[in-house]
Amino acid sequence: MQSDGKLVIAGYTTNVGGTTGNDSLLVRYNTDGSLDPTFGSGGKVITAVGPTNSTDDIRALQVQSDGKLVIAGRTTNVGGTTTNDIVLVRYNADGTLDPTFGSGGKVITSVGGSTDSMDYANALQVQPDGKLVVAGHTAITGSGVGNVVALVRVQP
């Protein structure tokens, strides 16, 4: 919930630019439950995080003290393989991407350090100093090791 009482939810929707996969989705509601037309396009913001036809799966959302919105999840590996990387995307309060964050508003991180790693972000927290902490898991395909906890901290 934002400081003005508006509610923002995050998730994903069918990939807009391709034939398969998903893009990230933000939706903002006014206090009366109607879509907020001042946010994105008619209350909705759809962002392709990974390459064309990638699968973006958003699992967490936080509102920073300055009103910016940060989402976390996973996307298909930027290299185009079927592995996953952890993704963070930051938006201004109006739903536009924040170009001062990462590359065009996006930070994509390979935690497993391998082209075979399956990295997922499941939780996100904004620390008092503004740093972002992501909790999730990673597994390296064929390594014989199951999922292990992954923690990533990102400068704002």
List pLDDT tens digits, range 40-85. 999 999 998 877 777 888 999 999 999 999 999 998 865 556 678 8
Rounded (5°) CA angle 39-42-45: 60
pLDDT at 148: 77
Segments making up each domain of the chain, as ranges: 7-154
pLDDT at 80: 52
For residues 69 and 63, is the Cβ–Cβ distance under 8 A? Answer: yes
pLDDT at 79: 55
pLDDT at 31: 96
> For the chain, which residues score pLDDT lower than 70?
16-19, 77-82, 113-116, 140-146
